[in-house]
Amino acid sequence: MSSTHPSLTTPQRRSADSGTASAIPGGEAARGEIGGSTAESSTVADSAKSLALIQCVAEAKDQTAAIIAMVNFIAKQFPTSRVRCGLGASQMRRFYECRLGWLGPASELFQNAAEGWNDDASSLPTRPDVPAMETTQNSVAPSDLLRLNLDDDVGLGRCVLWIDGGELTPADRTWLRRALPSLRAIVWMRGGGVMTQFWRWLSHSGMTGRIYIGLAAVVVVLLVIWPVSYRVRCTTVVRPKYSRIVSAPFDATLQAAHVQPGDSVKQGDVLISLDGRPLRLELEAIEAQIGQVLKERDVAMVGGRVAESQQANLKIRELNRQRDLLISRLDRLNVTSPIDGIIVLGDLHRSIGAPLETGQAVLEIAPLGEMVVELEIPEYEIGYVTEGMPARVRLTATEGDAIERPIDAVYPSAELRDDQNVFVAHIHVDNQDGTLRPGMRGDAIAYGRLRPWLWSMIRSGWEKTLWWIGY
């Protein structure tokens, strides 16, 4: 009895097998299309990472913020890795670690990174939490180390980025290296001062070394021949324009002092009082002698002794002159001020009872409405200072603007001050506000004629050198 389902013959079975086999190539093509789309999407993702890294660093305001942003971004992409960055030139000056922040030269990580700073190999700082022997035995494989150099194109600086630990695939290395040119430009354009940016601009402009030398030569020549005012530096002291010295009128003892330095006085005010008791005793003795001589003269005249009477008259004249002198001194026991002003010198309260000699200076009175600034000009500079030359004075005790006045007069003769032979020039200054005080000191600059800058800088030293060697 035959079967209801006829069996397949051999040719039919082969055709079925061939049909099955013909379906296999179609499946392989589908899988190839899927693999290609996956690789393309991976490339797009890597490009997006590069662009995101560049954008993150570009938003930084300065070089320090750019380094921090770059390290932190890469550290987020590789959580199991440690990212570090060094910054410097021939030697590393700064070092940043993603977990520890900025590290100083005392850090072990900083020192280890500095040792391999100039090596092109993937040298890496040693971890402080791993012993030295363990690190040597279980060192990280070179394939897990990545060193990226972001050196300045001009050669003014160097930046090195280390990534270690974790597993870095070739695709990771590719998108990181793809972002290097942009990162290098951003990092170095964020750093450096005006001169650094200027030299970077010169290097990018294509100028050669000869142009550099030419520019330097032009600058030197300009400095040598550039005209500047010759400056004469000197010290200054403030003195009153007018002053009067009050001295003792005769030999006497100081009885009282009615003023002290800083007091304002008017003309005729009593300054000091002298003791008049010795003068009164001497006056009484003189008057007694005068009375006795008058009697002797009268007796001689009555007796007809003319010669004796004439001698008595001469003696009376002499005694009268002595009496008049004593009376005049008694009238001058109170010494008064000759002018209106301020007591600038003389504290006599500790000298009460001390004897004073004739002509001894006891007080100095000066009006402070007008002052004189004396410029002490060194002897070797006097040939370059003339009357009318502008000067600028800055006093140590005053705050504010400097005094700028022309020189009113230059004394023709030198004076010895502080063991130096100097010439004195005067500048008159109005002092109605009372800011200037006698004795204030400071520095001044007198501006002479225009001369080449180099001559002004080396003239004094050159002349001293010639004098020292005998020319």
CATH architecture of 47-202: 2-Layer Sandwich (3.30)
Residues of the chain with pLDDT under 50: 1-32, 34, 123-143
In the chain, CATH 2.40.30.170 covers 368-469
Every domain of the chain with CATH number 3.30.450.80 lies at 47-202
Cβ–Cβ under 8 Å, residues 202 and 70 = no
Report yes or no on whether pTM surpasses 0.85.
Answer: no
Backbone angles phi, psi at 118, to 5 degrees: -95, 5
pLDDT value, residue 32: 47
Match domain 368-469 to its CATH number in 3.40.50.300, 1.10.1670.10, 3.40.462.40, 2.40.30.170.
Answer: 2.40.30.170
What is the Cα–Cα distance from 471 to 461, expressed in whole angstroms? 14
- The CA distance from 253 to 275, in Å, is 5
* SS3 (DSSP) at 19: helix
d(CA 386, CA 144): 79
Local structure of 250: helix, strand or coil: coil
Distance CA 47, CA 151 (A): 23
Q: Whole-angstrom Cα distance, residue 384 to residue 64?
A: 53
The span from the CA of 16 to the CA of 12, in Å, is 6
Torsion of CA 109, 111, 113, 115, to 10 degrees: -150
Task: Give the Cα separation of 118 and 105 in Å (integer).
Answer: 17
Residue 79: is it exposed, middle or buried by C-beta count within 10 angstroms (0-12/13-18/19+)?
exposed
Torsion angle (degrees, nearest 10) of CA 306, 310, 311, 312: 100
Report the Cα–Cα distance between both ends of the chain, in Å, rounded: 148
Reference 45, options 144, 166, 172, 146; nearest CA is: 172
Tokens of 253: 């003892």
Q: How many CA atoms lie within 13 A of 447 on its CB side?
A: 11
Residue identified by tokens 């890294």 is 53
- From the list 374, 370, 368, the residue with the least C-alpha distance to 237 is 374
Residue 38 C-beta-side C-alpha neighbours within 13 Å: 6
pLDDT, residue 129, reads: 42
3-state secondary structure of 17: helix
Q: Show the tokens assigned to 332.
A: 């001058």
Residue 460, sorted as left (phi over 0), alpha (psi -120 to 50) or beta, turns out to be: alpha
Element (H, E) at 319: helix 306-331
Give the pLDDT score at 404.
92
How far, in Å, CA of 103 to CA of 106, rounded? 8
Taking only the tens place, the pLDDT of each residue in 258-278 is 999 888 899 999 999 999 999
